[in-house]
Amino acid sequence: MTHKERLERLYRGEVMDRPGIYVRPLVPENDPTYDRLVAYLREHTELKRWWSTRPVRQKLPVEAFTEPYSDDFQRQVTVLHTPAGDVRQSYLVSLTGRPGLHEEHFIKTVDDAGAFLAMPPRQYGGDVSGFFAEVADLGDAGLVEVNIDNNAAGRVVAKMGSETFALWSVQHRDLLHELIRHEQRDLLAMTRCLLDAGVGPYYSLSGQEYIVPPVHGPADFMDFNVRYDKEVIATIHEAGGTVHVHCHGRVGKVFEGFIEMGADVVHPFESPPLGDITAAEAKERSGGAFCLEGNIQIANFYERTPEQIAEETAGLIADAFGDRRNLIVCPTASPYMRGAGERCFGQFKAMIDTVLNWRP
């Protein structure tokens, strides 16, 4: 069985000889300490690549520029021109390879929201040959997923920030729904454009994690995420596709929402203390409705021994693969600590080897 066939069968919920094994490949850039790990992943694990939808997206009327901020950061400013006036966002970009920081969001006032709502529908179309080239290049090593990025609600949160969204969920809830419907219109148009061009069948969707406990309760998750996501996912299902959903947070309180929206794969279903659902609970509550992808905390690969990781991996398999279906063993995030590739190599190898050597 090829790596591609294994992932396809796991996505369909078929009985398998072992779980899948996958590591998100976004290691720190220009960091040779991860070269040995990357090579091991390519040789021994199921691979996935994300194909960006940028080639089919009409460019927005924006003006972008940078300006000085400090010795460690540069300010990146984007001004969006709308029929109802300009809106502006700024982002602090690290000059030393550290994470950036949102300084100012596009939507800060009700008037800013009105400006976004005045934007006409985006047009979609373009050259998608890059997708098929990516599929051919990866071959039987794994799957190419079409990354349609944030869901409609997540796109709205990204434009205003989590704090404003949370406040408006009480103060301006109807306006939030208007903004989400505006984004949903464009998201569906883009998705249909891709499907009509034969792009797929594997899609990935994120953004739900902006609206999970403890910032938002289960009612908000259902109202802002599930209510809209199920239309997008149904559109992909109707074309024979599948949808991978990435959502951090305390998803235990909203877990059935992933079933209702129609997700085919859910990552990473985090256990306590960072999350609130164990692998055994996730397996029971999912009821075989989707494939579980997770759930070993990424920090453990830097803080624990290879023996501890091997034990944790074996426990995950015991808890979530009793029926030999619906499990891809995976860290909760990509390797992230700069200069520490050799420090964590043994731990990743222990996880991978435990999966490859597992027998029913």
Q: Where are the beta strands (DSSP E) in the chain?
A: 20-21, 47-52, 62-68, 73-82, 85-94, 101-104, 142-150, 202-206, 242-247, 265-268, 291-296, 327-331
Q: How far is CA 97 from the centre of its chain?
A: 22
Q: What are phi and psi of 91, to 5 degrees?
A: -140, 135
Contacts of 96-102 with CB under 8 Å at 24 or more apart are 96/72, 97/28, 97/29, 97/338, 98/72, 100/73, 101/73, 102/161
Cα separation, 78 vs 112, whole angstroms: 14
Reference 45, options 13, 17, 81, 4; nearest CA is 4
Q: 116 with 168: CB under 8 angstroms?
A: no
Collapse the DSSP code of 225 into the 3-class scheme (helix H, G, I; strand E, B; otherwise coil) and give the result: helix
Reference 292, options 335, 251, 346; nearest CA is 251
Can you tell me the mean pLDDT for 197-222?
Answer: 97
292: which 2 tokens?
């579980």
Beta strands at 62-68 and 47-52: parallel, antiparallel or unpaired: unpaired
Q: What are phi and psi of 214, to 5 degrees?
A: -95, -5
Model confidence at 305, in pLDDT bands (50, 70, 90)? very high
Whether the model clears a pTM of 0.85, i.e. scores above it, the answer is: yes
Domains of the chain: 3-58+122-356 (3.20.20.210), 60-105 (no CATH)
Model confidence at 97, in pLDDT bands (50, 70, 90)? confident
Q: Which residues pair with 92 in a beta bridge?
A: 75, 101
Residue 15, CA distances (Å) to 2, 86, 103, 323 in order: 15, 54, 48, 7
> 360 or 153: whose pLDDT is higher?
153
Beta strands at 85-94 and 101-104: parallel, antiparallel or unpaired: antiparallel
Collapse the DSSP code of 303 into the 3-class scheme (helix H, G, I; strand E, B; otherwise coil) and give the result: helix
49: which 2 tokens?
């690549």
* Burial call 98-130: b when 16+ CB within 10 Å, e when fewer: eeeeeeebbbbeeebbbbbeebeeeebeeebee
Residue 241's pLDDT is what?
98
Q: Which residues pair with 75 in a beta bridge?
A: 67, 92
Cα separation, 317 vs 319, whole angstroms: 5
DSSP character string of 70-120: -SSEEEEEEEEEETTEEEEEEEEEESSS---EEEE-S--SHHHHHHHHTSP
Q: What is the pLDDT of residues 16-61, one digit of tens each?
A: 999 999 999 889 988 999 999 999 999 999 999 999 999 999 899 9
Q: What is the pLDDT of residues 324-354, one digit of tens each?
A: 999 999 999 999 999 999 999 999 999 999 9
User: Is a pLDDT exceeding 80 seen at residue 277?
Assistant: yes
H or E stretch including 13? none
Q: What is the mean pLDDT of the chain?
A: 96
User: Is a pLDDT exceeding 90 seen at residue 193?
Assistant: yes
* Burial call 248-259: b when 16+ CB within 10 Å, e when fewer: bbbbbbbbebbe
